[in-house]
Chain A
Amino acid sequence: MIDFPILSLLTFLPLIGVAFILLIRGEKQRVEQNARRVALYTTMFNFILSVYLLINFDGSSAEFQFTEKVEWFPALGLNYSMGVDGISLFFVILSTFLTPICLLASWTSIKTRVKEYMIAFLILETFMIGTFCALDTVLFYIFFESVLIPMFIIIGVWGGGRCVYASYKFFLYTLLGSVLMLLGIIWLGITIGTDIPTIIADNSIPFNVQIWLWLAFFASFAVKMPMWPVHTWLPDAHVQAPTAGSVILAGVLLKMGGYGFLRFSLPMFPEASEYFAPMIMWMSVIAIIYTSLVALVQEDMKKLIAYSSVAHMGFVTLGLFTMTTQGVEGGIFQMLSHGIISAALFLCVGVVYNRLHTREISRYGGLVKNMPKYATVFMLLMLGSVGLPGTSGFVGEFLALMGAFQVNTTIAVFATTGVVLGAAYMLVLYRRVIFGAQKNEDAAAMSDLTKLEYSYLVPLALIVLWLGIAPSYVMDKVSPSVQKLIGQYEAGLKKSPTSLDIALRENE
């Protein structure tokens, strides 16, 4: 075991990097270069630290590990409480892994306010890791909502032309959700407490209250996910965000909604989850079909991938709310896989965007001739997104659908059409960008991947393959926690078989 507070270190190390960056003095160019370096080294070190965490993680245990608990606001019973289990562990790793990649991807493309950019990313990392480690509802709330602040800034300051509109839309959506979630947290804090494991273990919330609490949390998580029909902020946010912003948005931020469902909605309000599960599953099915069809007619590369993200998140919510082992594990794996694949796809868009400064699909074509390496990497990622067996995209999708089939065959049939539609839009995108005649001279003159681009795309591509061929390394560590989650869920349903009746009686 590790005898130092590794989770706090992981969470706050980026802030030390921020302090260093603030201390840098000198001429502008020098400052920028040093800011880049400091940020990169900090995040790299953080990643290594997280690998150390992974190595020391006991994969056979379902309990929270590396827990830290410090009295924080004793008068209010608030604690600074951190810990990871199999479910949150890999989200932490995903965050620490993607952040340095984002910085590499911004190495040359960000030219204005470099120092501030690096600071924003480091702060963002702190909040992301904090979200996944927090074991106290208030602490979670602070991290969960704070994430958006650096994200707004990244989109607003370094984004595209209509970035103001985009971040405003993003803001309006998330605002409502977060207010409602806060009310939920207050209620929980008063009746039970703020310690997440305690709330989960406590089964005393009556059904009618569960319904309201579930809805309050749902408002926040559904927007983050995003689920249909509250997804419309995502395409705009992606289109306007700088490449690295999109990477973090798709790679980590979208996973916070799913993580919220796993940590709050399902274990804390099992009866309400059971009650709402059919609705969620149908919404997921609609999301899969609806957004896939929308993706099919997009002319903007980033919008297309953004819509595909909504469809992929549809598989996640579908899987999670089946509450079968396959469904939940599939949902979690799909989130991790999507975190890698969509991040890499946005990086791929960034590669050509940096050269031609347009995301319009029709401005490209025939890139395979002048950018064969790019074409190969893109091909692999495209196949991963399509869910080809042997890539990470397959395992999650397959398991989630398998879980759905056990609960409701009709839903499974409709959701499985997503594998056809998903292939359609990705293949069409690939064909229009990479294959065909070279009709645009400037696109035909673009150079192939640079060493820098190579350095971050190839690891991502290899992980997509690795997780596709040997996913058990991850799955085996996730599994005990999922079993525990399902156990708690079922206990919650069985423990108070009459609470539904009571609730109904009370309502009468």
Chain B
Amino acid sequence: MEILAVFAPLVGFLLAFLFGKKMGDKGAQLVTCSGIIIAAILSCVLFVQVICGGESGHGDPRTITLMTWFTSGTLAVDWALRVDQLAVIMMCVVTIVSSCVHIYSVGYMSHDAHKARFMAYLSLFSFAMLMLVTSDNLVQLFFGWEGVGVASYLLIGFWNHKESANAASIKAFLVNRVGDFGLALGIFAAFFLFGTVQFDALFALAPEAAKANMTFFGYELHALTVVCLLLFMGAMGKSAQLGLHTWLPDAMEGPTPVSALIHAATMVTAGVFLVARMSPMFEYAPDALMVVTVVGGVTAFVAATIGMTQFDIKRVIAYSTMSQLGYMFFALGVSAYGAAIFHLMTHAFFKALLFLGAGSVIHALSDEQDMRKMGGIWKKIPTTYTLMWIGSLALAGVPFFAGYYSKDMILESAFADHSWFGNFAFWMGIAAALMTAFYSARLLFMTFHGKPRASKKVMDHIHESPPVMLVPLMILAFGAIFAGYLGYESFVGHHQVWGESIKVLPANDTVTAAHHVPLWVKKLPIVMGVLGLFLGWVFYSKFTNLPAIASKIFKPLHALFFNKWFFDGLYNKIFILPALWFGKMFFATDKNVVDSLGPDGVAKSSYGLGGMLSRFQSGYVFQYAFVMMLGLIGLISWFYFKTDLGLDVEGAE
């Protein structure tokens, strides 16, 4: 069953990809959708078994080894499916959201010429993601990790006639590779330290290594901190944390279902999953946890500031995703792994809902994504409008929606950590919560309310999306409303289900401590959420000239936010241009220095190149053969000489 749950999407991919032409669009949609739905159903069954099964009813985690991947000396890597509590929760999130997106895509891509290919890629992605979350060792995790990266690359660049889409897809792949550079080194370091890459073995050895040091890059450093930080670098790339985030907004070039599935709900959360999975190691590397917290806090804040100023509806949501991922990371950093995964799950629902809702809007407006050209359409697409409200309220953390439970838990945990970085992250998170609510309201009011700013032709075409798109949205909306309430007890409450899959040292147990924080800490996020929504309404519905005035008053600040803190330009100057410059210079070096000292120089000094070349065709091969034969003759005569005179070999030496 575990095998089928993971491999059903792969079968769907292979069938649709290889025989897409023969089976037609309908056939391809059928096989891919059934593949992922089978996986979703089986994942839910596994969920019940793994969480509630077992003799004691406290869980029945299992690992199924499929076959050996490769062995080299003491390094042994298996293909295996590790289905424990953490994995099965991820499996459910992935397959359920993916099923919704698969079905939605049938409607959304109905005008596209390459439906079979699109569906196939979605299934490929789902398979890679499932391999990632069920991996039993770091190398298989790396397989899934890069696999989702490739699927993301293929899907961002799905409309491959568009230059911008191609550029975005390459950028996504390369920035992720920078992260993977760290991840790969982390795996090497783990193997170097522990002699294994298998999770159970690593985790068993981690406590003993807590005091060990290793030499890395010429420095004597705390070994586990090195390993964890290198792994975290991979997580930063995949989860678009500040510094390695620049690919995510550009990734919005891909079709909207892709943004929902890969760049909101699942793939970008792989980094969060990685840190949670490696919690038995991170727990013994407090410095690494500190870095995770700070990076998460800063990302949450910076991304929110950018989100407030963007006009492309998908980019606003993309920055919001980045910001929410920041929350998850600082939760991880204060050892609130459960809270992070909890937010991961609720976020998957409401963010996928927001993206798919935005897709529905874009679809209705004839592929318009600029919010400045929207407005006044809420009456024409009421269902989408309602669903977008649900998603936004959940995102803003309004009580009783899903985001409220998980985000509050994260902020309380950060506060309960009582460390300087916990406090830092807490205040960053509070500020980001205000901005989150603000840009959510901004998005809603700019998109749906006010005067219509689209052309008349577009306005006449506005239509509500077909049921095949709306039904998946409703499923997600259900999750966005109830997931928080339903999951609270089992994720972060008094009946946690994690079992052995997450490790928290007693001293770091912030989730438990979070239940005892002062009242103002518990209430502050709600106040911020409501205040943000209110401000958004004031700015973008009540007094619509306020944003222009505000951006004038805070001109430098606005410029900084609007230009995304200038990361792209900076990276272009620091990395890309120098790389090309060095490439050209080295190429010239090859020609001018190496060759002129080497072969060309030899030729010039001996014969002069021209004469040499003209004689070449007839002569060179034979000259070569001649030299070789000469050598051989020399060799043979030497031997002959040696044996003939009966020289003592040792003596000759």
Taking Cβ atoms with an 8 Å cutoff, the residues of A that contact B are 73, 75-78, 138, 141-142, 145-146, 148-149, 152-153, 156, 164-165, 167-169, 171-173, 175, 178-179, 182, 185-186, 189-191, 229-233, 235, 290-291, 293-298, 324-326, 329-330, 366, 368-369, 383, 388-390, 395, 398-399, 401-402, 405-406, 409-410, 412-413, 416-417, 419-421, 423-424, 427-428, 431, 434-437, 469-472, 475-476, 479
Q: Determine if A406 and B632 form an interchain contact, defined as CB atoms under 8 angstroms apart.
A: no
Residues of A within 8 A of B591 (CB): 232
Decide: A423 near B639, CB < 8 A? Known: A156-B617, A436-B163.
no
Q: Cβ of B181 and Cβ of A420 under 8 Å apart?
A: yes
Total contacts A-B at CB 8 Å: 220
Q: Taking the nearest CB of chain B, how far is it from the CB of A238, in angstroms?
A: 14
Q: B150–A431 contact, CB under 8 A?
A: no
B628 touches A232 (CB 8 A): no
Report whether B586 and A77 are in contact in the complex, using a CB–CB cutoff of 8 Å: no
Nearest-Cβ distance from residue A418 to partner chain B, whole angstroms: 9
Task: Report how far A295 CA is from B586 CA in the complex, Å.
Answer: 10
A423: chain B residues at CB < 8 Å are 173-174, 177
Judge whether A436 and B216 touch: CB under 8 Å: no
Interface hub of A78, A229, A419, A420 (most chain B Cβ within 10 A): A420
Whole-angstrom distance between the alpha carbons of A410 and B216 in the complex? 7
Q: Are B613 and A419 in contact (CB under 8 A)?
A: no
Give min CB distance, B318 to chain A, whole Å.
22
Residues of A within 8 A of B75 (CB): 325-326, 399, 402
B73 touches A168 (CB 8 A): no
CA distance A62 to B147 in the complex (A): 36
Q: How far is the CA of A182 from the CA of B600 in the complex (A)?
A: 24
Q: Does B566 contact A (CB under 8 A)?
A: no
> Which residues on A sit within 8 Å (CB–CB) of B628?
145-146, 178
Q: Is the CB of B590 within 8 A of A294?
A: yes
CB contact under 8 A between A388 and B184, given known A229-B594, A293-B583: no
Of A76, A148, A405, A470, which is within 8 A of B189 by CB? A405
Note all chain A residues with C-beta closer than 8 A to B638: 186, 189-190
B598 contacts A230, CB within 8 Å? yes
A328 to chain B, nearest CB (A): 9
**B456 in the interface (beta carbon within 8 A):** no
What's the least CB distance linking B180 to chain A, in Å? 7
Contact call A156/B635, Cβ cutoff below 8 A: no
**Closest beta carbon of chain B to A399's beta carbon, Å:** 5
Q: A148-B624, A152-B620, A398-B184 are in contact. Are A431 and B170 (CB under 8 A)?
A: yes
How many Å lie between the Cα of A179 and that of B597 in the bound state?
19
Q: Is the CB of A435 within 8 A of B160?
A: yes
CB-based contact B71/A405 at 8 Å: no
- What does the 1/0 interface line of B617-633 toward A look like (CB < 8 Å)? 10011001101100110
B99 to chain A, nearest CB (A): 24
Q: Cβ of B139 < 8 Å from any Cβ of A? A: yes
Cβ of A324: which chain B residues have Cβ within 8 Å of it? 73
**How far, in Å, is B562 (CB) from chain A's closest CB?**
29
Contact of A182 among B160, B174, B584, B631 (CB under 8 A): B631
| A416 with B174: CB separation less than 8 A | no
Is B174 a contact partner of A419 (Cβ separation < 8 A)? no
A389 touching B217 in the complex, CB below 8 Å, given contacts A152-B620, A297-B583, A297-B584: no
A22 CA / B32 CA spacing, docked (Å): 57
When distances are taken between beta carbons in the complex, the residues of chain A under 8 Å from B636 are: 73, 76
The reply to whether the CB of B553 lies closer than 8 angstroms to some CB of chain A is no
- Given A410-B217, A472-B71, is A75 in contact with B139 using a C-beta cutoff of 8 Å? no
- Say yes or no: B160 contacts A172, CB within 8 Å: no
Closest to B216 in A: A409
Q: Pick 23 A–B contacts, CB within 8 A, sort by A.
A: A75-B643, A138-B635, A148-B624, A156-B617, A168-B620, A190-B649, A232-B590, A290-B586, A330-B72, A369-B161, A401-B184, A405-B191, A406-B192, A409-B215, A410-B217, A413-B185, A416-B184, A419-B180, A424-B170, A424-B579, A427-B174, A436-B160, A472-B68
Q: Is A409 in contact with B217, judged by CB distance below 8 angstroms? A: yes
Q: What separation, in Å, do the CA atoms of A405 and B227 have in the docked complex?
A: 13
Q: A77, B643: Cβ atoms under 8 Å? A: yes
Query: Closest chain B residue to A148 by CB distance?
Result: B624
- Residue ID in chain B nearest A421 by CB atoms: B579
Are B73 and A325 closer than 8 Å at their CB atoms?
A: yes
| A471 adjacent to B160 (CB under 8 Å) | no
Name B residues whose Cβ lies closer than 8 Å to a Cβ of A: 67-75, 139, 142-143, 146-147, 150, 153, 157, 160-161, 163, 166, 170, 173-174, 177-178, 180-181, 184-185, 187-189, 191-192, 214-218, 579-580, 582-584, 586-587, 590-591, 594-595, 598-600, 602-603, 612-613, 616-617, 620-621, 624-625, 627-628, 631-632, 634-636, 638-640, 642-643, 649-650, 652-653
Known contacts A75-B640, A401-B188, A402-B188; decide if A436 and B73 are in contact (CB<8 Å): no
| Contact call A436/B139, Cβ cutoff below 8 A | no
Using Cβ atoms and an 8 Å threshold, which residues of chain A touch B161? Answer: 366, 369, 435-437
Given contacts A293-B583, A417-B181, contact A186 B635 (CB under 8 A): yes
**Bound CA–CA A191/B638 (angstroms):** 12
Closest CB-CB distance, A188 to chain B, in whole Å? Answer: 11
Using CB atoms, name the residue of chain B closest to A145. B628
- Complex alpha-carbon distance, A189 and B635, angstroms: 9
User: What's the minimum C-beta distance from A49 to chain B, rounded to whole angstroms?
Assistant: 28
Asked whether A294 lies within 8 Å of B185 as measured between CB atoms, the reply is no
Distance in angstroms between the alpha carbons of A75 and B645 in the assembled complex: 12
B147, B627, B639, B653: the one within 8 Å of A179 (CB): B627
Nearest 4 pairs of A and B residues by beta carbon:
A325-B73, A405-B188, A389-B143, A297-B583
Q: Decide: A398 and B139 in contact? CB cutoff 8 A.
A: yes
Bound CA span A252–B636, Å: 29
Kindly identify which residue among B72, B181, B586 contacts A293, using a CB–CB cutoff of 8 Å: B586
Do A168 and B616 touch across chains, with their CB atoms under 8 A apart?
yes
Most B-side CB within 10 Å, residue of A142, A190, A291, A428: A190
Taking CB atoms, residues of chain A closer than 8 Å to B595 are: 169, 232
List, in ascending order, chain A residues with CB within 8 A of B599's CB. 168-169, 172-173, 232-233
**Chain B residue contacts of A420, Cβ below 8 A:** 174, 177-178, 181
